[in-house]
A = this chain, B = another copy of it.
Amino acid sequence: MDDRVELSLHIPEPFARPGETPTFDHVDIPAAGATRRPAVDAAEVDMRDLPYGMVRVLDADGRAVGPWASQMDPEFLRRGLRAMVQTRVFEDRMFRAHRQGKTSFFMKSTGEEAIGVAQSMTLAADDMCFPTYRVQGWLIARGYPIVDMINQIYSNASDPLKGRQLPILYSAREYGFYSLSGNVGSRFGHAVGWAMASAYMKDHRIALGYIGEGTTAEGDFHEALTFAAVYRAPVILAVTNNQWAISTFSGIAGAEQTTFAARAIGYGLPGLRVDGNDFLAVVAATEWAATRARTNLGATLIEFVTYRVSGHSTSDDPTKYRPSDEPVHWPLGDPVERLKQHLIALGEWSDERHEQMQAELTEAVRTAQREADAVGALGQSKPSAREMFEGVFKEPDWRVIEQRREFGI
């Protein structure tokens, strides 16, 4: 008789599917202020606990507490709030624009706005971020013209990318925003290379790479971390863990076993796990990592714990694979509400001012959209078809020249 254990294949499954009761009990959330803040030059061995804690500053009452809290200029916070609200208003509008057939595609970052916005405001103007499609807030926080975002989304005659790219795959060099692409993960190593170049040139600039928690499974993730660790690249590597990758929960990327911040330990790098819905925590963690980078202490991996409130994109219906009320169960709240509450607690903000701002920003987006509509939405206006043949190489070769002729322009 065979008394050996029968092997069985484990397939991770989320805690709740449509029709079931959502729970986030599996997400370990220490209290605000509970996780310590080591010196930026602490020894690696003394930072191995960080990936299992969580950098949180705002407590349930909207007070800034604990070692990661610092005196912050209320004006800075108000600007952050403004950019987050602006992002949300803008995205809601564009989502509707998709329904109206004005664009082929759109994606929202609802619930995750603090990450792109706070990091955009914390890093220097000449630093470079290597974005995912879920940090439109970076551009908005830096004042990138919303009308240009819409023109890109419309692929119209004023599209800064000349109709060559899918909507929201922006590129904005002057705003520290590297060219996006549809492939996930493949720019993570570019951030490391860019940072290595800055170090090679004895420059001061640092890089920030973004990746979704689902995408950490790509080889690119590991290769970027390896190079970052080996060459002590001045880079911040940010995992935005919004719990979902299209229909796939984070357990399929490894979340059943450990945190994404813990990946850092394997490379001898510090790994911060951060409340991604806490604007102040995002700022504090980013500052800490940026100081490390700027002082030749090398790379930091940051996991931002957040939640994808909307569907993956306009092509997605999340109620097909998760309970429709899952978003309201998310324990880290809404980044906009939390920062608003903090500012109000500080006496630096009010519901009235908030409503007024919201109205203003809605109007601003409306104006921008009107301007873009005037140029034309998808199908109504597009750049000259010559643009299709430009930019394959720096100088066109005979193939595109002949083909352009064959095409008739």
Q: Which of A160-168, A248-256, A317-325 contacts B (4 or more CB under 8 A)?
A: A248-256
Chain B residue, CB-CB nearest to A231 = B10
Is the CB of A12 closer than 8 A to any CB of chain B? yes
- Complex-state Cα separation, A359 to B140, whole angstroms: 78
Is the CB of A61 closer than 8 A to any CB of chain B? no
How many copies of this chain?
Answer: 2
Question: Is the CB–CB distance between A251 and B266 below 8 Å?
Answer: no
Is the CB of A361 closer than 8 A to any CB of chain B? no
Instruction: Count residues of chain A with CB under 8 A from any CB of chain B.
Output: 55
Question: Is the CB–CB distance between B266 and A258 below 8 Å?
Answer: yes
A298 neighbours in B (Cβ, 8 Å): 10
- Complex-state Cα separation, A226 to B257, whole angstroms: 10
Interface residues of A in 200-218 (CB under 8 A from B): 200-204, 216-218
Residues of A that sit less than 8 Å from B by CB: 2, 4-12, 44-45, 48, 52, 196, 198-204, 216-223, 226, 229-232, 234, 251-254, 256-258, 262-269, 294-296, 298
- Complex-state Cα separation, A83 to B27, whole angstroms: 50
Question: Is the CB–CB distance between A5 and B221 below 8 Å?
Answer: no
Question: Which 7 pairs across A and B sit closest by C-beta, in order of nearness?
Answer: A219-B219, A257-B268, A222-B222, A258-B268, A266-B266, A263-B266, A9-B199
Partner of A295, one of B5, B232, B267: B5
A404: min CB distance to chain B, Å: 36
